[in-house]
Amino acid sequence: MAQAIATQAHYLIDQFSGVGHVDLKTAFADRLALWAVMTMLGLPLHDFSTIRGWFTDIAHALGNFGHDPQVRRRGRAAASAFGAYAVPHLDGCAANRTPPYSLRSSHQAS
């Protein structure tokens, strides 16, 4: 996985290397972290921008110290949408492992 992460990091850097100024968190760190998580979980990379949008809304809700109800609603909606999206993908991956387990339960099947 280390080589795949290094390759992705170089790809992301190449995307902004000639720009001059970028927000490193947005252009690199957030993208690399989410790519790594999606890759490790086996989530389809073609859904990256959708998942990134959900994670952005979730992060804003977690940092919503002003208790803005709209931010909270978007965060909850994003968490629900991600859960509905991810569980079938992750349970499908889990079914191929030994021993089988479900991400919906806190214990492994025997």
Q: What is the pLDDT of residues 2-30, one digit of tens each?
A: 898 999 999 999 999 888 899 999 899 99
Q: pTM for the whole thing?
A: 0.72
User: Model confidence over 50-68: pLDDT tens digits?
Assistant: 999 999 999 999 999 999 9
Interatomic CA distance for residues 100 and 110, integer angstroms: 8
Structure tokens at 68: 């803005």
Sequence-ordered alpha helix ranges (H) in 17-97: 24, 30-41, 48-62, 69-95
